[in-house]
Structure 1
Amino acid sequence: MRPTKSPTRSERSIPAVTASAAAADALLIMVFAAIGRDAHARGDVITGVLLTAWPFLAGAAVTWLLLRLWREPLALWPAGVAVWLGTVGVGMALRALTGQTVVLPFVIVALISLAVLLLGYRALVLGFLRLRRSRRRD
């Protein structure tokens, strides 16, 4: 009987990175919905945010599953761009199908806001990881 090879530290952290990236995407989509609701002074804080966020959360989940983003969840391309566009595209389609407002200014704001949030944190994390790697080499 051969001894089993124990997983390396990076192999053990893959599920944690994937779960963290998915959670960050969901949290940032909730932040987007909360900011939007606050900007328009709408009541029902918790249920209102959930009502606004669910189509976008569904869009992100569909994108994660269809494109198997867990393979490289922090990559700007294709994961970051895919989850950003999938979140907005599917989210707006679901809003339209359920009778929620879908107007061009809102689509533009959603595209810009979610790009900053969903691509921004990935860029920051990747920059931090590169900096950490380069300092280890020195």
Structure 2
Amino acid sequence: MAAQATLHCLTGCAIGEVLGMIIGTAAGLTNGATIALSIVLAFAFGYALTMRGVLRTGLSTRQALKIALAADTVSIAVMEVIDNTVIVGIPGAMDAGLADALFWVSLAASLVLAFVVTTPVNRWMIGRGRGHAVVHAHH
């Protein structure tokens, strides 16, 4: 269940992270601005994916947002710390262009490592009735 919750969370995070890195790199933003954009988009897409499923149960947008915040905030935050730390830590990754293999390999590696580190965090939270356990009460 923790791996499934992490994969769900990673999907939204990855969409936002990759999109932010592509936009920031293509637009020539500074490294800090590119990372900030990626983080904002990762949270936005992560919450949106959770809300999409919860809204199908008939809850209001406000209720769905509360559930998404409770379910995903810690998971997304851990993923963002890990994947952005990895990308910044790989020499040349933040300066690589969209056509460079280093850009894509470092991004993929950062997301894989984020999944590995975040899965035990989600397992711990689910075991205490938090995180994605909150979402499963509404499915």
Q: TM-score with structure 2 length normalisation?
A: 0.48
Q: Which has the higher contact order (CA 8 A, sep 6+)?
A: 2
Bigger Rg, which one: 1
